Structure 1
Amino acid sequence: APIQGVADTVSRYFVPVVILIALITLVVWALAGPEPRMAYALVNAVAVLIIACPCALGLATPMSVMVGTGRGAMAGVLIRNAEALEILEKVDTVVVDKTGTLTEGKPQVVAVLAERNESDVIRYAASLERASEHPLAAAVVRSAKERGLEILKAGEFRSLAGKGVTGTVEGHPVVVGSAGLLREMQIDISAVADRPEALRRDGQTAIFVAIDGRVAGLLGIADPIKPSTADAIQFLHHEGIRVVMVTGDNRTTAELVARRLGIDEVKAEVLPDQKAELIKRLQREGRIVAMAGDGINDAPALAQAQVGIAMGTGTDVAMESAGITLVQGDLRGIVRARKLSRATMRNIRQNLFLAFVYNTVGVPVAAGVLYPFFGLLLSPMIASAAMTFSSVSVISNALRLRNVEL
């Protein structure tokens, strides 16, 4: 963790300073101490070296991080690196993907607007989408199976990130995706251009299906919002955190979801490679950004953010790119992770304070500054016990994190 650098920097200067203090103690007692001077000089110099052993300083950060990481795992928050745990308490902007993060990630086909036989539209779309890993593709395939339709073998399959898929089914060219993709394929959509907006106003994602170069129909796909999402966003707002939703969905659908959840800013119709650019722009504005996502297309943004947060219900690529994984894929996990970060960093600061205060008080006493006033000296054995006690106090304080409320 970066805060460990503070302890490392202090230790770099601490050791030579302590050796210097021990030498000064040796010289002063040898020249000005009571008889037997050399005996007093050696005992006090050794006591300084023993009591100043920087064990507590070295344990302050790793002990808290280790216990905090364990407490997080018990609460379903897996910490992959300590830096993410440290920075999370400073985050002022959270960027969230919509599908699978704010929503259940289990979309369903709820409307079919067909220009030809409805079963053909779903069968051809499902046959092509079966090769895709996108959650919306899974919804189309699931809809075909629920209707008892045969899923055919697709050829020449191509997936265009953020746009859709193309290929052939039974020799027929098929395109499934956004209006933009159909326009790129020079397919006229004017006959159904006004229909997608009605679906979007109902919170559905409109997917075009074209067969043989003509629009065959529209699929309306809805993905329910997770019940816990609203509470999590309310907590983030209470913490003064700005919430930005980023999605490849149409703006109408995205803004409807944002209004329901009270999200501050919406970035819709965003391609996968543009998500990382959005994170960079926010960072250039001086914001400390956390990104929460679950898909392969979220991985670059998760890696770019100061803190990447992956849903445990998402893809392995997303989890590998993130510093924190929420096992249950629940946004309330961000709330728990934030509380854990704050508690862990507070605990580390307490440990560093204990270690610094211990050495600030212990070294002068071991050197014999109290002897002229109270006749008090520390033997090396007592110094050794005190040094051990300082380490025990730091460890005991770190163990308190096991009981922190998340």
Structure 2
Amino acid sequence: MRRATDEREKRVDASDVEALPGKGVKGVVDGDIIRVGNRRWLAENGVASFPDEVLSNFEASGKTAVIVASEAHILGVLAIADAVKDDARDTIEELEQMGIEVWMITGDNERTACCVAEEVGIQHVMAGVLPGDKSAKVEGLRKLGRVVAMVGDGINDAPALAAADIGIAMGTGTDVAMEAADIALMRGNTHGVIDAIRLSNATMKKIRQNLFWAFIFNSLGIPLAALGLLSPIVAGAAMAMSSVSVVSNSLLLRRLKLGRGMPAVKP
């Protein structure tokens, strides 16, 4: 749009505009049906010839090729690409070092998806997934016995975030995604995912420690009290010490050093 404005191209209006998720958009311009979308959808609607070399060059560079066509003729090709976050590759490497298997689920075609996956170091790719099918892919992984954490930021990611065992939404994403997720990161950098995992692991460790010491206090105190060998004053002091130890141990979480992103856990 900006380039068209700069070059003073004439703006045209479209009527009967219809958006088809995972396929494209169509409308009527000056009496002609114009479609803007992917190759598969246009082929289904009678477009038989494609500029394969142009499409291949775009896809090989990690861009999604969007074709503009009339009833049966190609009018142009647009290249769309999301910028890969600077810390994405480091985050993927760190996740794999933690023993976490990373998958990419995307609506892009396989060639484009594999190009992006190679850039960030992802080994497992599900390409060509329609927006409504992302949650089914997540459920499929869960049925294989995997515990799935889904990271997303778009409207189309919301069902998959809700279907996952843990949904993690980026802070720069849509409100729908953040509402559907279990964890909302305060920032848009991917390293916040690492921070969320580390904070969760540390929290569970503290919970186990607190339960252990509470069990010890009660295991020693209750039998002594039942036998009349424990003064009520001493029992009260021991109970207070138990509470103080639990709170003090929990406060040690403040010393946990996180990376570049700080997660906020929804209540």
Question: Does TM-score exceed 0.5, indicating one fold?
Answer: yes
Matched, 1:155 2:15: yes
Equivalences for residues 256-267 of structure 1 within 5 A? 256-267=115-126
**For 2:197 and 2:5, how far apart are their aligned partners in 1?**
42
Aligned to 2:40: 180
Secondary structure of 1:242 counterpart? coil
Give the TM-score normalised by structure 1.
0.60
Displacement of 1:303: 0.9
Query: Which SS does the other structure have where 1:281 is aligned?
Result: helix
Partner Cα separation in structure 1 for residue 125 and residue 88 of structure 2: 16
Check whether the contact 1:232–1:331 (CA below 8 A) recurs between aligned residues. yes
Q: Deviations over 1:198-237 (max 9, x none)?
A: 2111222111011354210111223321110011000001
Structure 2 equivalent of residue 303 of structure 1: 162
Pick from 237, 244, 247 the counterpart of residue 385 of structure 1. Answer: 237
Per the TM alignment, residue 148 of structure 1 is displaced from its structure 2 partner at its CA by 5.0
Distance 2:171 2:211 in 1: 34
What's the CA shift for 1:366?
2.2
Deviations 1:281-333 (A, max 9, x none): 11111111111111111111111110111112111111111101122222111
Matched, 1:206 2:65: yes
- Whichever residue aligns with residue 68 of structure 2, its letter is V
Q: Specify the code of the residue in structure 2 equivalent to 1:330.
A: N
| Matched residue, 2:262 | none
Residue 398 and residue 210 in structure 1: after superposition, are their counterparts in 2 closer, same or farther (change >3 A)?
same
- TM-superposed deviation, 1:154: 2.8
Q: 1:146 to 1:385 in 2, by over 3 A?
A: farther
Change over 3 Å in CA distance of 1:274–1:146 after alignment to 2: farther
Displacement of 1:195 in angstroms is 2.4
What amino acid sits opposite 2:235 in the alignment? A
Q: What one-letter code is carried by the residue in structure 2 that aligns with 1:325?
A: A
Unpaired stretches in structure 1, ≥5 consecutive residues: 1-140, 370-376
Partner of 1:167: 27
Q: Is the 8 A contact 1:173 1:213 kept in 2?
A: no
1:164 is displaced (CA, Å) by 0.9
Structure number, greater radius of gyration: 1
CA distance in 2 between partners of 1:274 and 1:355 (Å) = 46
Q: Whose relative contact order is higher, 1 or 2, with alpha carbons under 8 Å and at least 6 apart?
A: 1
**Aligned 8 A contact 1:174 1:210 in 2:** yes
The answer to whether the Cα contact below 8 Å between 1:199 and 1:206 also exists between their aligned partners in 2 is: yes
Does residue 398 of the first structure (1) align with residue 250 of the second (2)? Answer: yes
Question: Could you say which residue in structure 2 is the equivalent of 1:272?
Answer: 131
Alignment of structure 1 residues 194-233 onto 2, 5 Å: 194-211=53-70, 213-233=72-92
Aligned CA RMSD, in angstroms, stands at: 1.9
Q: Does structure 1 retain, via aligned residues, the 8 Å contact 2:22–2:107?
A: yes
For the residue of structure 2 that corresponds to 1:232, the secondary structure is: helix
SS in structure 1 of the partner of residue 102 of structure 2: strand
Q: In 2 relative to 1, CA 332–165 (structure 1 residues): closer, same or farther, beyond 3 Å? A: same
SS at match of 2:233: helix
Letter in 2 for 1:402: R
Q: Between Structure 1 and Structure 2, how many residues are aligned?
A: 258
Pair 205,167 (structure 1): closer, same or farther in 2 beyond 3 Å: same
Aligned identity (percent) is 48
For 1:148 and 1:397, locate their aligned partners in 2 and report how far apart those are by CA, in whole Å.
Answer: 66
Contact 1:326–1:333 (CA under 8 A) maintained in structure 2 = yes
1:79-118 correspondence to structure 2 within 5 Å: none
C-alpha deviations, 1:108-146, integer Å up to 9, x for none? Answer: xxxxxxxxxxxxxxxxxxxxxxxxxxxxxxxxx455455
- The structure carrying a bigger helix percent of its residues is 1
Does the 8 Å CA contact 2:55/2:65 hold for their aligned counterparts? yes
- Deviation at residue 179 of structure 1 after TM alignment: 0.7
User: C-alpha deviations, 1:253-284, integer Å up to 9, x for none?
Assistant: 11111112221211111111221121111111
Q: Secondary structure at the match of 1:260?
A: helix
1:25-48 CA-partner distances (Å, limit 9, x unpaired): xxxxxxxxxxxxxxxxxxxxxxxx
